[in-house]
Structure 1
Amino acid sequence: MDRPLDHTALIKSLPPDTKAALTARSDAAGLRHLALYLAALAACTAGIALQLPFWPLLMLPQGILLVFLFTLSHECTHQTPFRSRWLNEAAGHFCALAIALPFVWFRYYHLAHHKFTNDPERDPELEHGGRPETFGQWLLYLSGWGYWKGMLQTLGRNAFGTINAPYLPGRRHADMRLEARLLLAIYAAALLTLLISPVVLWLWIAPLLIGQPVLRAYLLAEHGLCPAVANMLENSRTTFTSRLVRFVAWNMPYHAEHHSFPNVPFHQLPAFHAITQAHLKSTSRGYRAFTADYIRQLSH
């Protein structure tokens, strides 16, 4: 059996025509996936708005679909879901509004994460103390409290404070400031509508809060329990899961593959996985298995 390669050697070993096929972007593939995603979200929204029988139960799938727009936003930072740049930009800003994740800011935050993946000193995902190390920290993490607090602080700082993170280019500070101010204004207006109707609460705010723990559990598997090494096939985890989860997460459970070759769009990741699977170092047989492993690690 061939010796496993690290991600750099693996990418170098790919023939040019294979690389070209893997990195081919498609408006049709992206729009088809987005249409199905939005149709599912619209069905949940309609059920809640019309207060169909047992409508409160729909807030869980509604929340999951809303918070997992994070994975689309994440893909849009790489300009890969669609071939057309304007579609990537439009989708990214749509997600920003839905989940309070400012897109201009997030692009540079996320690219820094790719550059310094799992580096405790330079990965921005670890700049506030890293991942949960106790059971109490894990429960707090799952609640989404850290995310909502962090995004409120980021929006406030970008809108009215000093933007000084080393990974945020000065030439984009004005855009980040405008983006944050617009988002805060829209959120203020949305909250004011609660004085008239609870629609925003039931269709958006409550589902976001309900769905966030599911996203947190999913995201923890991407790099949790992975070593702080340079090899992307080791510092990032591929989680084997169902087709439904891969659909909702835009194929990002193939996360080691994504980090190894970020130019591969979501719809080509299964093909790239077929190439990388013999070289993967960090994998889990589903999110339940990963969570069980993480809890065992916390107990030690």
Structure 2
Amino acid sequence: MASDPSGTNHWRGLQLAGLIGCAWLFTLAVGLRLPFQQIHPLALMAFVILRGFLHTGLFIVAHDAMHGTLAPASRPNLNQRIGQGCLWAYAGLNFQACLNHHIQHHHSPGSATDPDYCTAADSSPLAWYARFLSHYLNPMQLFKMAGCMGLMLAVMPANQQQPLLALVLIYVLPLIISSWQLFVVGTFLPHRNNRQATEGFHQPISLNFHPVLSFAACYHFGYHREHHSYPAVPWHQLPRLRTAVAQS
């Protein structure tokens, strides 16, 4: 992989991963007990969006673990353990399977062998999204996800009057929002202009977002050209890398 020009502090990545994980667990615990039927719709919407954002954060942490940049190089097994834990919490995903897909994506972006790219005649966002999900969803994985939801229902307090509604608001809707966030900002927009047919290669673009908006959109995953050029740089260093590259 390319060298890291930004002087990455790997402990910073672990600190941010801990913050994201703790926030996810805290909002989950709060959500299991909230009387959703008594909460204003706007407050409910804000809560669901927050849960979706934190859910995306789990995948971003796992993504850094796939690149081996989450934990210091002296602790390679820690990357896999944290990554697997985040992917299980995210949607019961298997770390090795996701790692294999992501390696293939980096090796041949925008090609027929890229699991995240849609080469079909119908490359509309919905068709592309369906293909994107097909590489992560299978009967066993759906069974695991159902088990996660069953566990949430089992630990839900007895005074939760609408457990199914609570499950939808704290897990199902945030997962759907997160999948679209990762797909649109991290896959569709950066990779939709495929130049492979005319120039022999595919170069993803970066979204021209202010760093604050970039963070809110998808943890800077929209700075996609920088990520493909320097995959050893973790997500929280991408704005600094983007500035350094632009000034070089």
TM-score class normalised by the smaller sequence: 0.7 to 0.9
Q: Give the deviation of 1:35 after TM superposition.
A: 3.1
Q: Give the deviation of 1:36 after TM superposition.
A: 3.2
2:176 aligned with 1:215: no
Give 3-state SS (helix, strand or coil) of 2:136's partner: helix
Matches within 5 A, 1:91-110: 91-97=82-88, 98-110=90-102
2:25 aligned with 1:37: no
- Cα RMSD (Å): 3.4
C-alpha distance in 1, partners of 2:121/2:83? 26
Q: What runs of 5+ residues in structure 1 fail to find an aligned partner?
A: 1-7, 12-18, 157-182, 280-300
Q: Is the 8 A contact 1:79 1:85 kept in 2?
A: yes
Q: 1:145 to 1:117 in 2, by over 3 A?
A: closer
Q: Give the deviation of 1:43 after TM superposition.
A: 5.2
Map of 2:34 onto structure 1: 51
TM-score by structure 2 length?
A: 0.72
State the AA in 1 paired with 2:31: I
Q: Is the 8 A contact 2:91 2:145 kept in 1?
A: no
2:232 aligned with 1:263: yes
2:199 aligned with 1:241: no
Q: Give the deviation of 1:131 after TM superposition.
A: 8.7
Say which one has the larger Rg.
Answer: 1
Q: Is the 8 A contact 2:92 2:144 kept in 1?
A: no
C-alpha distance in 2, partners of 1:202/1:117? 35
Bigger shift: 83-92 or 35-44? 35-44
Q: Is the 8 A contact 1:238 1:257 kept in 2?
A: yes
State the AA in 1 paired with 2:183: R
Q: Is the 8 A contact 1:23 1:265 kept in 2?
A: no
Matches within 5 A, 1:111-190: 111-119=103-111, 121-126=112-117, 129-130=119-120, 133=123, 137-139=124-126, 141=128, 145-153=130-138, 156=140, 186-190=144-148
C-alpha distance in 2, partners of 1:131/1:262? 30
Q: Give the deviation of 1:132 after TM superposition.
A: 5.6
Give 3-state SS (helix, strand or coil) of 1:251's partner: coil
C-alpha distance in 2, partners of 1:214/1:24? 25
Q: Is the 8 A contact 1:73 1:96 kept in 2?
A: yes
Deviation string 1:164-187 (CA, Å, 9 cap, x unpaired) is xxxxxxxxxxxxxxxxxxx66643
Map of 1:273 onto structure 2: 242
Q: Is the 8 A contact 2:62 2:86 kept in 1?
A: yes
Q: Give the deviation of 1:224 after TM superposition.
A: 1.5
State the AA in 2 paired with 1:216: F
Q: What runs of 5+ residues in structure 2 fail to find an aligned partner?
A: 157-162
Q: Pick one of 89, 92, 96 that aligns with 2:80.
A: 89
Deviation string 1:247-286 (CA, Å, 9 cap, x unpaired) is 453432221111112222334333332332268xxxxxxx
Q: Give the deviation of 1:62 after TM superposition.
A: 0.9
Matches within 5 A, 1:288-299: none
2:47 aligned with 1:66: no
State the AA in 2 paired with 1:151: Y
Q: Is the 8 A contact 1:96 1:103 kept in 2?
A: yes
